[in-house]
A and B are shown apart, each in its own frame.
Chain A
């Protein structure tokens, strides 16, 4: 029996629904494993702003962040078979992928050369651009919830989850003994959860 007509109908319904449809995570994951473009579109619409924010805070350059965002989503598409739901949520996986890819790009020869050129050409405007970037970050990114977070907790969370620092690097950067990074991070996360639970 040829069921293609039914599948076609199902796809049709899916397409009709996709504009208003909210995928549950398991459904989204299954569809992405099947390389469904509607699901990928949903994924982009839903997560691109958050991931773009993450990249921007790492590179502090809007245009570069968006270039990296492209690479990130292409990597998500190609590497999706490697995603294992048992290891964590979709966003957790995408965040780690984003962080690692951004670090790789920033460490790459091309990127450093580019920065070098910019720095040589006019370091003053580069500095102004940096400040501009940070200013934008404060204006756009930081909502009132994040401002409730103690600065030392915020720094810790940023370094661990959003900057890709290793435990050693975190210890060095913050002056926290290496052995207590874990427990400090725990305290920061508990506070973070509290802040978002009282929303």
Chain B
């Protein structure tokens, strides 16, 4: 018989109801093993019946469950049962034990690996943070160097060398004066460090009079300041740097002049 014929015959429906003869039951159980199509049809029938029964369910009184539990045979611990059972069963039990042991060990192992990986991630995070900070520092340095270079390479830039005067023959400084905008930059790299409590001040000589052009930072927390922007001048005849007390002065102390350069 074909699977389809068997399915439409209604024999499976009878089988699900438990209404088959013994002979028919044997046949059906053989077909169920042989044909997935028949097995699927049988599963469908059982589904339908189960749904039908569930749809007509009636919740029993709450104490019914207790009454049943009270009548269950006394609980025997699993450990005690095992050796009494058939050997095949205890083999399964043993395998199961080993499986349980293995899975617990696996769990512990995975926990340890997790911990190690976590620590590794922590280390990497620290290294990463450090690298990021260094990169940011380098970028800052590069940016300032590029800014310096831009000032020097600007086509309107006029470089003015300020030479040491008699008291300080070795001191030099450079002024970059952007003629189009009047911006003044100074490179104080070759000025000696200002003594404590003192600070260099730049002056522009405009129409024969010294005009404050700003204070120069030579050192700050151990870093030598490179090219820095000073006040802007439309025109000037000369620039000079004097050593003043910290905070600067209104009028230059000419005797403390360090460098000077004419345009």
**Interface assignment of A15: CB less than 8 Å from any CB of chain B:** no
Q: A6 contacts B49, CB within 8 Å?
A: no
Q: Which of A16-24, A105-113, A117-125, A139-147 contacts B (4 or more CB under 8 A)?
A: A139-147
Instruction: Give A143-199 interface residues, CB cut-off 8 Å to B.
Output: 143, 145-146, 157, 160-162, 166-167, 181-186, 189, 192-193, 196
Select which of A48, A87, A193 is within 8 A of B48 by beta carbon. A193
Q: B52 contacts A146, CB within 8 Å?
A: yes
Instruction: Give B67-86 interface residues, CB cut-off 8 Å to A.
Output: 67-68, 71-72, 75, 78-79
Q: A189 contacts B13, CB within 8 Å?
A: yes
Interface size band for B: 35 or more
Distance between Cα atoms of A161 and B78 in the complex (Å): 37
* B residues less than 8 Å from A37 (CB atoms): 72, 75
Distance between Cα atoms of A50 and B52 in the complex (Å): 9
Q: A146 contacts B71, CB within 8 Å?
A: no
- Residue of A with least CB distance to B18: A96
A-B residue pair count with CB separations less than 8 angstroms: 156
Q: A167 contacts B14, CB within 8 Å?
A: yes
Question: CB-CB contacts of B86-112 with A at 8 A, as 1s and 0s?
Answer: 000000000001101101100000000
Shortest A186–chain B CB gap in Å is: 4
Select which of B9, B18, B50 is within 8 A of A89 by beta carbon. B50
Spell out B's residues near A (CB within 8 Å). Answer: 8-11, 13-19, 29, 32-33, 42-61, 64-65, 67-68, 71-72, 75, 78-79, 97-98, 100-101, 103-104
5 nearest A-B pairs in the assembled complex, by CB-CB distance: A182-B10, A49-B57, A186-B10, A141-B56, A3-B97
